[in-house]
Structure 1
Amino acid sequence: MSRISKNVILVLLTLTSSAFLLFQLYYYKHYLSAKVTFFPSFSLLNIILAIYLPNILSFCKSRIGFDGTQWRAVKKFIMLTSSQNVPVFLIDPLILELINKNFEQVKNTSHASSTSECKFFCVPRDFTTFALQYQLWKNEEGWFRLAENMGFQCLKVESKDPRLDWIDSLSGTEIPLHYICKLTSHAIHLVVFHERSGNYLWHGHLRLNGHIDRKFVPFRKLQFGRYPGAFDRPELQQITVDGLDVLIPKDPMHFLEEIPHSRFIECRYKEARAFFQHYLDDNTVEAMTFQKRAKELLQLAAKTLKKLGVRFWLSSGTCLGKILLVSNKNVEDSLELSFQGKDDVKLDIFFFYEETDHMWNGGTQAKTGKKFKPGKCQLHPS
């Protein structure tokens, strides 16, 4: 039901209630006033107002916020994407956190039974963030034109496709990374996710090139795009939020927990090519088989540790020097797990320990039993 029709219904209800109230007053004045002499003339009016006024005010109050800038911008954006069959899903951290806190209530809310109170999309903010898997977008240019026809001012951010950097003939091909569509004072940030070979989703860095108007939106307040990011491919579900049907990650909490650790470090393709030009790549069957099995073992370890809730990252094993800890009698500080994969592929897993400003892992010298501890290194797992 459109906003206009809802306002018409509100007016009709108000007029009907007023007419009924006047009829009751007329009836009281001409038929009951002579009989009920002990009842003050204004008491019936007070009783009627006490009965009907709270309901009218409650209905009016419940509609407050639905005409707000944020809600209208989100509604119009969802109408736009739905008309073009563009499967966007909500990834806004603020809204997802609110939904997660009331997840059972929201999950069981249908469009028909949706409360008229605006609790989520009316929260004050500059942006609402959605995402899209690029391979599912069939009509990008048509969508862009339609958005502008609906009143949005849209900014498109593109950059070179890093997946093609190692192929000279394709290097430089540009892909869309971010869309920012502004309606009056509120903006929708559409993060474009691309598939990577490790079966995860990647988004690029939002770089402000020379032709971009720095005053278009407060770019510093964007939640995504300060650096490239990588996320697990989320399973989606549709829910009704503030009367709007939206897709969200089926496990909102997991997606929110990924955000602080989503920073993606791209392979340095130019340096890698220079290295292999100087030191020829080993393309033998034996070497290729080892690489494949090593990758499979790493993926298995990461998947297993993830199920256990253990953060997993690659460590170089070098940490700017070591400190001898002669007095340390702990065994677990140098605990190491080794796993034997297929055909002598070995994986070593070390345990790191968190301090207030750094992480460290211990080591024990096999021959002497002496303890070593990496010096104060700032580790930033990505």
Structure 2
Amino acid sequence: MQRINKNVVLALLTLTSSVFLLFQLYYYKYYLSPKNGAVFSKAKGSQMGQDSTRWHVVKKFLGLVSNHNIPVYLIDPLVLGIINIDLEHLRSSSDGSAPECKYFCAPKDFTTFALLDKMWKHEVDLFRAAEKVGFQWLKIQNKDPRLEGMDDLSGIEIPLHYVFKMAAHAIHLVVFYERSGNYLWHGTLRLKPHTDRKFVPFRVLQFGRYSGAYKKLELLSVYVDRLTVQIPKDPSQFLEERLHSRFIECRYREARSFFQLYPDDASVDAVEFRKKAKSLLHLSALTLNSLGVKFWLSSGTCLGWYRQCNIIPYSKDVDLGIFIQDYKTDIIPAFQKAGLLLKHKFGKVEDSLELSFQGEDEVKLDIFFFYEEDDHVWNGGTQAKSGKKFKYLFPKFTLCWTEFVELRVHVPCETLQYIEANYGKDWKVPVKTWDWKSSPPNVQYNGIWPVDEWDDVIQLY
């Protein structure tokens, strides 16, 4: 066997070591250098290592959007929560500086910002600039739900989320849109089949699991960690709103199928009723919102939303639900002040409370109050002439936002179970003859009011 030349081996080892050293220098220069905002030896107002990385990625991103006049604002729940604790101090402080990076160095893989769609249109320029400073980016888009209700067949997609990644940190940019109900909406983060699911840990992103709906925001500029950022003026309100922001769209495709089987009533009377019912619903929402009373679409109004994305023209009323714990004595005076006459008041706060108001031209507003038991909720009904009581049982439910007749309004998130409880499995079939005492499958006889209480529990006007 031929002997191995030691000098050749030594030369090869030296060459290999040199190449590896050159690769390390190249990697540091182009991927981990301060130019790309990845790892820094030390920065004033920040911590070492990975914490510094997060701060510098946020700084790079804010500089990027500022150079392109893109007004983003911070909606990251963790960072906003910390800022909210210090908000009064930050407002009074001249520079907002702290000895160490406090807000943008929290141990997390991403930081979340938001963007109002109408404030920005030039994404291609931003992407090019982002790549130049070291960001990788991903765009998530889907169909525009605002066009669904218009029988739009164009298949137009809109951007819903952007993700900008540098080193081990990512910026999640959520796109908000204005909807016709005068609120802000963001879509779900639904990945297309070809998307690289390892790009970032999508499952831990805090916006996008569901669509969300929010009140329009006022913004406040704060200076934290030597960075100027826009935040919601009332962070605590935004954080609370986020917990209950889940939004579900009306089922436009199913509504179109329904109308193919049961053509819509386009008569003058039907059109006029829907106009008046819409006006009454908007007035009711304005009144209850002014009192801070949470409500939802109930009974036939909820069925109309779920089944046909519209008010049922033969229903002749508007139905709302309110949990009894949200009852306020101001409700009746507030509706009377709004021009609605109290038609009847049945039951009492402790049992089967129900209010009915007279709207324009015989269009009624019925408000049913719901009581919670261990395994179900219920609302009551009273027959005025006999004093008989009835109870309507529903499975427990939570509330989601939706848009209905150009109004942001709550509906039960578990809508199908709610509808089936009230109307049975055949809820898709229109029924124009309805007896509230016997037709609902969830109705139960609940005794009779004592005669000596009738003056209090059966009030007709």
TM-score normalised by the chain length of structure 2:
0.62
Deviation at 1:355, TM superposition (A): 4.9
CA RMSD, 1 decimal:
2.8
Q: CA deviation at 1:117?
A: 3.0
Question: Which position in structure 2 is the counterpart of 1:133?
Answer: 116
Q: Distance in 2 between matches of 1:116 and 1:290?
A: 64
Task: Quote the Cα distance in structure 1 between the aligned partners of 2:357 and 2:348.
Answer: 23
2:362, 2:48 → 1: CA distance? 64
Shift of 1:219: 1.1
- Find the partner of 1:344 among 362, 379, 385: 362
Aligned-residue offset at 1:113: 5.2
Aligned mate of 1:361, from 351, 371, 379: 379
For the structure 1 residues 366 and 201, does the alpha-carbon distance in structure 2 shift closer, same or farther, using more than 3 Å as the test? same
Q: Please point out which of 87, 91, 100 is paired with 1:107.
A: 91
Q: Quick check: 1:155–1:180 contact (8 Å CA) kept in 2?
A: yes
- Whether the 8 Å contact between 2:103 and 2:225 is mirrored in structure 1 is yes
Q: Which runs of 4+ in 1 moved over 6 A?
A: none
- Tell me the secondary structure at the aligned position of residue 360 of structure 1: strand
Contact 1:161 1:171 in 2 (8 A): no
Gaps in structure 2 of 5+ consecutive residues: 1-33, 35-41, 304-346, 401-461
Over 3 Å counting, the alpha-carbon distance change for 1:339 and 1:248 in structure 2 is farther
Q: Which residue of 2 aligns with 1:237?
A: 220
Show the counterpart of 1:259. 242
1:244 deviation in Å? 1.1
The verdict on how the C-alpha distance between 1:149 and 1:361 changes in structure 2, with shifts beyond 3 A counting, is farther
Identify which of 248, 265, 273 aligns with 1:282: 265
1:246 aligns with 2:229: yes
| Alignment map for 1:174-323 (pairs within 5 Å) | 174-316=157-299
- How far apart, CA to CA, are the structure 2 residues paired with 1:65 and 1:105? 26
Q: Which runs of 5+ in 1 are unaligned?
A: 5-58, 320-328
2:101 is equivalent to residue 83 of structure 1: no
- Distance change (3 Å), C-alpha of 1:198 and 1:113: closer
Task: Supply the AA of the counterpart residue of 2:157.
Answer: E
1:226 deviation in Å?
0.6
What are the superposed Cα offsets for residues 2-45 of structure 1, whole Å, 9 maximum, x if unpaired? Answer: xx9xxxxxxxxxxxxxxxxxxxxxxxxxxxxxxxxxxxxxxxxx
Aligned residues: 316
Deviation at 1:248, TM superposition (A): 1.1
Look up the equivalent residue of 1:335 and give its one-letter code.
L
The answer to whether the Cα contact below 8 Å between 2:352 and 2:379 also exists between their aligned partners in 1 is yes
Q: Distance in 2 between the 1:156 and 1:227 partners?
A: 17
Percentage of matched positions with identical amino acids: 62
Partner of 2:384, secondary structure, is coil
Q: Where does residue 31 of structure 1 map in the other structure?
A: none
Q: What secondary structure is seen at the aligned counterpart in 2 of 1:124?
A: coil
104, 119, 135: which one pairs with 1:152? 135
CA–CA distance in structure 1, aligned partners of residues 125 and 83 of structure 2? 32
Q: Deviations over 1:322-359 (max 9, x none)?
A: xxxxxxx9653311222333333322222223456654
* Matched residue type, 1:109: S
Q: How does 1:14-29 map to 2 (within 5 A)?
A: none
**Paired residues of 1:333 and 1:351 also in contact (CA < 8 A):** no
- TM-score, normalised via structure 1 length: 0.75
* Alpha carbons 2:140, 2:161 under 8 Å: kept: yes
Partner amino acid for 2:91? K
Deviations 1:197-232 (A, max 9, x none): 111111111112211111111111111111111111
CA–CA separation in structure 2 for the residues paired with 1:342 and 1:154: 54
Tell me if the contact between 2:45 and 2:226 (Cα under 8 Å) persists in the aligned partners.
Answer: no
Q: What secondary structure is seen at the aligned counterpart in 2 of 1:70?
A: helix
Look up the SS of the partner of 1:202 in the other structure: strand
Pick 1 or 2: higher relative contact order, CA cutoff 8 A, min separation 6. Answer: 1
Q: Deviations over 1:234-274 (max 9, x none)?
A: 11121112221111111212211111221111111122112
Cα shift at 1:285: 4.4
Say which structure is richer in strand: 2
Counterpart of 1:281, as a letter, is D
Give the distance between the partners of 2:246 and 2:99, measured in 1 at CA.
38
Could you tell me how far apart the structure 2 residues matched to 1:73 and 1:357 are? 49
